[in-house]
Amino acid sequence: LTIEQVEVVPFAIPYRKPLHFASGEVRTADHVLVRVRTAGGLVGHAEAPPRPYTYGETQASIVAVVEQLFAPALVGTGALDREEHRARLSRTVGNPTAKAALDMAVWDVIGQALDQPVHRLLGGYAASMRVSHMLGFDRPEVMVAEAQRMIEEHGVRTFKVKVGQQPYTLDVAVVRALREAFGDTVELYVDGNRGWTASDSARALAEMADLGLTLAEELNPADDVLGRRWLVERCPVPFVADESATTPAEVTREILGRSATAISIKTARTGFSESQRVLHLAEGLGVEVVMGNQIDGQVGTLCSVVFGAAHRATSRRAGELSNFLDMSDDLLAEPLTISDGELAVPAGPGLGLRLDEDKLARYRQDA
């Protein structure tokens, strides 16, 4: 199981419909596919999505850091030497999605070597997850129509509504329109991506008090330290830390600093190994978790459901697993499907993913 080669393949697949949110927008999935090959001929895969507005990474920076630093650090180690991988990769600060993709590709290799699904190696709790769909900024009637389509075509009844616009009343109108359209047949929660101030957020929460929200995520910047604490104290529902708590240390700081009361886990930034550390920490601290979306493609979404369904605490809430549906195409030979509001964990050893090599050839950017 000696790692012989680590390869990066930048690719770009357009979205049919761009996704807008307070910190940025996505029009193309310009991700990086990571492949880890062992001396015995096993190949593990995962994908890294560059999110400059969240982590400072770009497609070119992910390719460069893997080629220059991470591949040389991993080649020659054993696939099972995960602590050694972590020690070596952590000599470079930052670059979370590059590190996470490598970790998950290594797990893919380990699963294949043991002829077991990674999902079972991680905990194997449930065979599928309930799906939450993320609704990007748009006019209320457009967002209601998208939710309606997700209900009819995929049975999805949980929606994370992107908020954080100026003025905040634009967002309040959207959430109200969704509640009026679907009544109590849907679960609604909001994610501000730091777009509001603490006072905007408090007013928006007050105006949405009758709308039955279940979570509020990153409404204002965690770096507004006292404003954030003031807001979280007044928030009637769990306040989720996403981009403010991307490492175990940040989780500890944000929770103990009373700047959040729940944690978003994203395999795109913490892989499987570090996501387990975050999950166990959250359990130890006694806070809820939600499986978040890094605007992942199908490879990334598959990784999220493999991890999310593997543990009880990550299976309680719907996972954010559906935004790949807005991409014009993808890389899997057998596309993921969401039905009755659920996404199943693929069977098969490792991650259970098979790439369509023709599609990769079509979308790769380095050929």
Task: Please identify every residue annotated as catalytic.
Answer: 162, 191, 217, 242, 266, 294
Q: Using CB under 5 A, which of 146, 200, 242, 342 touches Mg ion?
A: 242
Which of the listed partners (Mg ion, ligand MUC, none) does 294 bind, with a CB threshold of 5 to 8 Å by partner kind? ligand MUC
Q: Does 54 bind ligand MUC (CB under 6 A)?
A: yes
Sheet with 32-38, side-by-side order of all strands: 3-10, 32-38, 43-48
CB of 294 to ligand MUC, least distance (A): 5
Structure tokens at 113: 């070597």
Cβ atoms of residues 251 and 88 within 8 Å: no
Q: Does 319 bind ligand MUC (CB under 6 A)?
A: no
User: CA nearest 70: which of 31, 96, 39?
Assistant: 96
Please say which residue, 112 or 275, places its beta carbon nearer to Mg ion. Answer: 275
CB-based closest residue to ligand MUC: 54
User: CA nearest 110: which of 70, 80, 73?
Assistant: 80
Which of the listed partners (Mg ion, ligand MUC, none) does 21 bind, with a CB threshold of 5 to 8 Å by partner kind? ligand MUC
CA 66 – CA 64 distance, rounded (Å): 5
Region binding Mg ion by CB under 5 A among candidate stretches 101-109, 120-128, 215-223, 324-332? 215-223
Q: Does 273 bind ligand MUC (CB under 6 A)?
A: no
CB of 51 to ligand MUC, least distance (A): 5
Which of the listed partners (Mg ion, ligand MUC, none) does 47 bind, with a CB threshold of 5 to 8 Å by partner kind? none
CA 297 – CA 330 distance, rounded (Å): 7
CA 11 – CA 8 distance, rounded (Å): 10
Please say which residue, 65 or 291, places its beta carbon nearer to ligand MUC. Answer: 291
Q: Does 242 bind ligand MUC (CB under 6 A)?
A: yes
Q: Which residues have CB under 8 Å from 35's CB, separation 6+?
A: 5, 6, 7, 8, 9, 43, 44, 45, 105
Which of the listed partners (ligand MUC, Mg ion, none) does 51 bind, with a CB threshold of 5 to 8 Å by partner kind? ligand MUC
Q: Does 259 bind ligand MUC (CB under 6 A)?
A: no
Instruction: Calculate the dihedral angle through the C-alpha atoms of 225, 228, 233, 236, rounding to the nearest 10 degrees.
Output: -160
Q: Using CB under 6 A, which of 31, 35, 51, 154 touches ligand MUC?
A: 51
Q: Does 274 bind Mg ion (CB under 5 A)?
A: no
CB of 21 to ligand MUC, least distance (A): 5
Q: Does 59 bind ligand MUC (CB under 6 A)?
A: no
Q: Does 103 bind Mg ion (CB under 5 A)?
A: no
Please say which residue, 85 or 133, places its beta carbon nearer to ligand MUC. Answer: 133
Helical segments of the chain, H only: 52-55, 59-65, 71-74, 82-89, 96-114, 118-122, 140-154, 169-182, 198-207, 225-234, 248-256, 267-270, 273-285, 298-308, 312-315, 357-363
Burial of 70 per CB tally in 10 Å (0-12, 13-18, 19+): buried
Q: Which of residues 19-38 bind ligand MUC (CB under 6 A)?
A: 21, 23
| DSSP class per residue in 304-367 | HHHHHTTSHHHHSSPEE--GGGGBS--SBSS---EETTEEEPPPSSBT---B-HHHHHHHBS--
Q: Which of residues 289-318 bind ligand MUC (CB under 6 A)?
A: 292-295
Please say which residue, 112 or 323, places its beta carbon nearer to ligand MUC. Answer: 323
CB of 269 to ligand MUC, least distance (A): 8
Structure tokens at 196: 């509001």
Prior bond to 14 cis, omega within 30? no
Q: Does 193 bind ligand MUC (CB under 6 A)?
A: yes
Q: Which of residues 190-209 bind Mg ion (CB under 5 A)?
A: 191
Residues that bind ligand MUC (CB under 6 A): 21, 23, 51, 54, 191, 193, 242-243, 292-295
Residues that bind Mg ion (CB under 5 A): 191, 217, 242
